[in-house]
Amino acid sequence: MNDPTLPTCLELLTDAKARGQKQWALLIDPDKALPASVAHRLQLAHEAGVSYIFVGGSFLSHYGLSSLIGFIKEHTDRKVLLFPGNAMQVVPEADALLFLNLISGRNPEYLIGQHVAAAPLLQKMELEVIPTGYMLVDAGKPTSASYISGTLPLPNDKPDLAAYTALAGQFLGLKVAYLDAGSGALTTVSPEIIRKVSETLTIPIIVGGGIKSLASAEALVQAGADVLVVGTALESGTNSSELRLLGETLRRYS
């Protein structure tokens, strides 16, 4: 149960943006979540000053999501947010859910269909729901998210198109913008896109996918990203010193 005396996840995101504080989130894919590796990643993330733990993915072949979140909460005091690929990934154990509206695509299933399926479940849960404009951006190769959603990602060299798509989402009342190159992306969302979106929006901007080096993370923060999401890099062996440098970099730009 969320404590009503504590700030909500959305309040934490918006307050950090208002203060110019840069944050990062660790993304844990339930299908790759062996307990030992999750505990190790959480330890590294804590050392680097992680702000949030995101849990979710395009697939969910194992249905131990509730127990995974319970395990995560035993090893961290950070807020745990669901990053769901579909309505089946809605469970009450998390602190909040990013209610992803895939505004970069035109597939009604991910504009409203999955949301209708999830709505009666969410109504019964004491789970904070954060309306989120989710935008897939071309990453140099097809990703699970683009394949499963049946949508084309936004071109990575069209900043205006991305900015106006994000602005439409803000005008529709979405509270957060999430620009994602996808898991295992060859490139990040371009800094030019982030810069234009940042100049256009007033809501927090989350950026994920393809962040594999300190240089790429720094470029995205300089361009205006408020929260960076790191997942695959940790799965493939990012060490504690690299993560500490990431944390130090974010503090330098805060």
pLDDT interval class at 162 (50, 70, 90): very high
Mean pLDDT of the chain: 92
Q: What is the pLDDT of residues 166-188, one digit of tens each?
A: 999 999 999 999 999 998 889 99
Strands (E) in 48-157, as ranges, are: 52-55, 79-82, 96-102, 128-136
Other CB atoms within 10 Å distance of the CB of residue 193: 28
pLDDT at 80 over 90: yes
Task: Quote the pLDDT of residue 249.
Answer: 86
Per-residue pLDDT band for 235 (boundaries 50, 70, 90) equals: low
Reply yes or no on whether the pLDDT at 237 is more than 60: no
Q: Check whether 62 has a pLDDT greater than 80.
A: no
**Inter-residue contact 233 to 212 (CB < 8 Å):** yes
pLDDT of 3 higher than 80? no
Superfamily of domain 9-252: FMN-linked oxidoreductases (3.20.20.390)
Q: Is pLDDT of 236 > 60?
A: no
Q: Where are the domains of the chain?
A: 9-252
pLDDT at 23 over 60: yes
Predicted confidence band of residue 219 (pLDDT cuts 50, 70, 90): very high
For tokens 């989130």, the residue is 25
Residue 180, helix vs strand vs coil: strand
pLDDT category, 131, cuts 50, 70, 90? very high
Task: Inform me whether the pLDDT recorded for 193 exceeds 60.
Answer: yes
Q: Six-digit token pair at 176?
A: 């957060």
Q: Percentage of residues in the chain with pLDDT exceeding 90?
A: 74
At 57 the pLDDT is 86
- Looking at residue 220, its pLDDT comes to 97
pLDDT of residue 101: 98
**Burial (CB count <10 Å: 0-12, 13-18, 19+), residue 137:** buried
> What is the predicted pLDDT for the residue at 174?
98
Indicate whether 12 pLDDT > 90.
yes
Tokens describing residue 49 = 């000053």
When pLDDT is cut at 50, 70 and 90, the band that residue 205 belongs to is very high
pLDDT of residue 213: 87
Per-residue pLDDT band at 63 (split at 50, 70, 90)? low
Cβ atoms of 191 and 160 within 8 Å: the answer is: no
**Distance separating alpha carbons of residues 251 and 254, to the nearest angstrom:** 5
Q: Residue 232 has what pLDDT?
A: 67
Identify whether the C-beta of residue 144 lies closer than 8 Å to the C-beta of residue 57: yes
**Under 8 Å between Cβ of 85 and 148:** yes
The whole-angstrom separation of Cα 44 and Cα 50 is 9
How sure is the predictor about 36, in pLDDT bands with cuts at 50, 70 and 90? confident
